[in-house]
Amino acid sequence: MGLAVALLTISDTRTLAEDASGDQLQISLEASGHRLHERTICPDDRYRIRAELSRWIADPAVDVVITSGGTGLTGRDGSPEAVSPLLDKTIEGFGELFRMLSFEHIGTSSLQSRCLAGVANGTFVFVLPGSLDAVTTAWERLIRSQLDVETRPCNLAQLRSRLKE
């Protein structure tokens, strides 16, 4: 049985009808046997981002939260700052691996990505850039296999029941 995943697109300009990255994540997670718990769009406002994430993190029905957008360096990009205080633990290697994989496609521009991942109240949280290429890379090359209990030698999905020990 798959995991329940909530998707949050962080954007001041996108609507659900124009959210290609969110669409791609939803299609990908459902194709992998997971189920969409909820999907919404939130403006680039760290307090509104925290409120939405906190609601999902507090909900025992949500296993994973994936955000897209707001990881850059502009004044409005605040996803990492919004999410970091909510995390109990950070998965340091996620951002490092993502930037390494992104380097293959976009070169040194990958250093502008401040994506991250962690665990909050037993919920996995992934904070991704908003581009279609970025969410596809993150899902296909990192997240999908880690949410698959068949991935060896280990995966995040098998840890789910032990996160609150």
Write out pLDDT tens, residues 67-114: 999 998 888 889 999 999 999 999 999 999 999 999 998 989 898 899
Instruction: Give the CATH H-level superfamily of domain 26-157.
Output: MoaB/Mog-like domain (3.40.980.10)
The residues that bridge with 7 in the sheet, in sequence order, are 39, 66
Q: Indicate whether this model's pTM tops 0.85.
A: yes
pLDDT at 56 over 90: yes
**4-38: pLDDT as tens digits:** 999 999 998 888 899 999 999 999 999 999 999 99
Determine the pLDDT at residue 72.
Answer: 87
Domain spans of the chain? 26-157
Q: Is the pLDDT of residue 57 over 90?
A: yes
Going by C-alpha positions, the residue among 119, 70, 49, 112 that lies closest to residue 91 is 119
